[in-house]
Structure 1
Amino acid sequence: MSIESGTTEVSREPGGDQERAGFDEIHILWISEGMSCDGDTVSMTAAGQPSIEDVVLGLIPGLPKVNLYNKVLSPSLGGEDFLAPYRAAARGELTPFILVIEGSIPNQNIIEGDGYWTSFGNDPDTGEPLTLNWWIDRLAPKAWAVVTAGTCAAYGGIHAMAGNPTGSMGLSDYLGRDFRSRGGLPVVNVPGCPIQPENFMETLIWVLHHAAGSAPPPPLDHMLRPQWLFGRTVHEGCDRAAYYEQADFARDYNSPKCQVKVGCWGPVVNCNVPKRGWMAGLGGCPNVGGICIGCTMPGFPDTFMPFMDEPAGGSLSSILIKPYGAFIRRLRGITNIAVNREPKWHHNKPELTSGYAPYWRPSPARPQRGTR
């Protein structure tokens, strides 16, 4: 298997004279051997705007040529054939590349004696399994960019909850918040359990445009999430938000009303799924009757458990909004009745009662133009 390095080209920043290097070819090394279920890879394959096929086939203008290595999507025979680009990158022979990590990172330091939590291939000399941590230690410093796929890789997720024996954590916890890739980027976190397909692909496209020299670095928030995707709450994009404003709450899961009283954390969770949908713009947890359990958040799942219990603060906020909501709901009901009527001039009588009086027609109620 031949491994070719991406060539470098020079691009000029739009509207300025500053030049910086960009790549016309780049590799994506995707490792899903973290503590995970591979659900993020499966979810990513559902993306349509754009799809991973569009990226790999070079159908998106301005992107470098992309060579993707992912075990679920790989056409290789597996084994050493599949591992070849990863081994080449670890030796520094495959550049540039973007490292995508799926799954949380276990703490190998807490294991006494032999053993490992998760591995990816074997050492060719000893035959011993190579841990995920071994690969991250060698690949992350050489990567042009490092991206996490899903909450497990971003913040630890399910495997990092209280009481777990693995000491699992997110990738930025493992590498340190001061980590910077070869491209000068911190870890780019795309949380979700699993990732919303277009959220991940949109972030990857931005990183690829940046690698091509045609875009600035993606703007990230303090938890290293893309700001334009996670800057708003579930509540702000929820189909049921108006019911909250009117203090009209669901009491069971069959109701179309606001689900805060039955366990929804939407008002405080950063996520755009209700607004964006899940596949082809359809779905999204509250849109289809599910409560938000905060799966995109750094404290998931511990902060949001037990699921289906009313969130902390939900009782107080719903009590405070109740008199306002009831008053507003009543006023809107009255106005709704008033505006659900046709105007009185809709009739088939001989007189015109719409108030229509053109200025060129004399009217006893209004003098002609030019007269006083």
Structure 2
Amino acid sequence: MTTASGTQEVATEPSRAEARNGFDEINILWISEGMSCDGDSVSLTAAGQPAIEDLIQGLVPGLPKVNLHNKVLSPSLGGEDFLAPYRAAIRGELAPFILVIEGSIPNQNIIQGEGYWTSFGNDPGTGQPLTLNWWIDRLAPKAWAVVAAGTCATYGGIHAMAGNPTGCMGLADYLGWDFKSEGALPIVNVPGCPIQPENFMETLIWVLYHAAGAAPAPPLDHMLRPQWLFGKTVHEGCDRAAYYEQADFSKDYNSPKCQVKVGCWGPVVNCNVPKRGWMAGIGGCPNVGGICIGCTMPGFPDAFMPFMDEPAGGSLSSILIKPYGAVIRRLRGITNIAVNREPKWHHNKPVLTSGYDPHWRP
């Protein structure tokens, strides 16, 4: 372009490295004072791809330096020493940070008079407990990203079931499903009761790469779950799925066959645990003889109870699959017998009977 003095300037595009707009250091403020059992924090310690230790020691290439504040994993002495970074974040003195919430969010508004459902530290001035809701109201608007860890935090879980006195809900119900963080991200929901450790770490790593300016925002589905982790059903990754196709169903929990008729909800539940395993690729509910009870789903537990009963649609679907399955099973059995025989020319006789014909020779 031409300047006021008449000289020519050439506009240049910034290089990819120069255009990078990320953070070199970031804090993770993890609050597990929601209504929960702390099982998600405990499960996190089983991650291995990468391990949480690798993350906080800076052993994952390309990530910002991570300062993790979690009561299960913290070397802090506790009390105000542990609360210091949380209070600093509220004052605007600790940024950027990722807020991780573990446990469902109670409804403080239904309490008439004094009392609270769950708290995290005390007010220095009054000495009164500070509720989880108080912290979320002040930290979430300042957070660069907000992550809900586990089904309790994502959709309410056990504490939000019908008849509960707490009015519990998931984080998106509390903050609003259209909530956007300082980093312009929606809430990132990683359900699981508890979280599958690799699922959570993989999601957190993606968010951190995004914070570093090295990756786009993680793709989420309509329930704010990572699409690549929760886009398939349990059934699609289950070792027992072929038995369903053949209408070969378990009558008890000792059988290796499909468990739909003894209470498994796998065909309709979004979860990758049978495919991924639980720890180091091993385990996962149907893989070890358990049924899927839908613990990653928004309707858990109410929509899946009673747990040991056949799912509502299981009876009809198993009836419809029976004629097809019986035919397929029989045909496969016939073919199996045929291919379980050696060819007749495998013998030690003096005559070659393989059909070998050297027709190209004179």
TM-score (norm 1): 0.92
C-alpha distance in 2, partners of 1:241/1:103?
Answer: 32
- Matches for 1:1-372 after TM superposition, within 5 Å: 19-358=19-358, 360-362=360-362
1:76 partner letter = S
The offset of 1:161, in angstroms, is: 0.4
**Amino acid across the alignment from 1:101:** I
C-alpha deviation, 1:12, in angstroms: 6.4
The answer to whether the 8 Å contact 2:263/2:310 transfers is yes
Which residue identity lines up with residue 115 of structure 1 in the other structure? G
Deviations 1:275-301 (A, max 9, x none): 100001100000111000000000000
Helix, strand or coil for the counterpart of 2:318?
Answer: helix
**Cα RMSD, aligned residues only:** 1.3
Check conservation: 1:239, 1:274, Cα contact below 8 A.
yes
How many angstroms apart in 2 are the aligned matches of 1:177 and 1:353? 73
Whole-Å Cα distance in 1 between the matches of residues 320 and 176 of structure 2?
Answer: 42
User: What residue identity is the alignment partner of 2:220?
Assistant: L
Q: How far has the Cα of 1:358 moved from its partner?
A: 4.4
The one-letter amino acid paired with 1:79 is: G
What is the identity, as a one-letter code, of the residue corresponding to 2:356?
Y
Cα deviation 1:40-82 (Å, max 9, x = unaligned): 0000100111110010011110111000000010001101110
The Cα shift of 1:114 comes to 1.1
Instruction: Give, as a single letter, the amino acid of the residue that structure 2 aligns with 1:147.
Output: V
Q: 1:177 to 1:100 in 2, by over 3 A?
A: same
Q: In the alignment, which residue of structure 1 is the partner of 2:11? A: none
Which string of whole-angstrom CA distances, capped at 9 and with x for unpartnered residues, describes residues 66-118 of structure 1?
A: 00000010001101110000000011110000000000000001101111100
Tell me the secondary structure at the aligned position of residue 298 of structure 1: coil
Say how many residue pairs are matched. 349
2-structure distance, mates of 1:178, 1:266: 30
Structure 2 residues without counterparts, runs of 5 or longer: 1-13
What do the CA deviations read for 1:7-40 (whole angstroms, capped 9, x no partner)?
Answer: xxxx9669xx9x3510010000000000000000
CA distance in 2, matches of 1:200, 1:331: 43
1:180-204 CA distances to partner (integer Å, 9 max, x unpaired)? 0011100000000000000000000
Native 8 Å contact 1:105 1:156 kept in 2: yes
CA contact (8 A) 1:13 1:214 kept: no
Could you tell me which amino acid in structure 2 is paired with residue 213 of structure 1? Answer: G
| Separation (CA, whole Å) in 1 of partners of 2:354 and 2:198 | 51
| Structure 1: runs of 5+ lacking an equivalent | 1-10, 363-372
Helix, strand or coil at the partner of 2:62: coil
Partner of 2:3: none
TM-score, normalised to structure 2, is 0.94
Q: Are 2:20 and 2:214, in contact at CA under 8 Å, matched by a contact in 1? A: no
Q: How far apart, in 2, do the equivalents of 1:162 and 1:358 lie?
A: 79
Q: CA deviation at 1:357?
A: 3.2
Deviations 1:335-359 (A, max 9, x none): 0000001112211223322233345
Residues 243-288 of structure 1: CA distance to partner in whole angstroms, max 9, x if unpaired? 0000000011111110000000000000000010000110000011
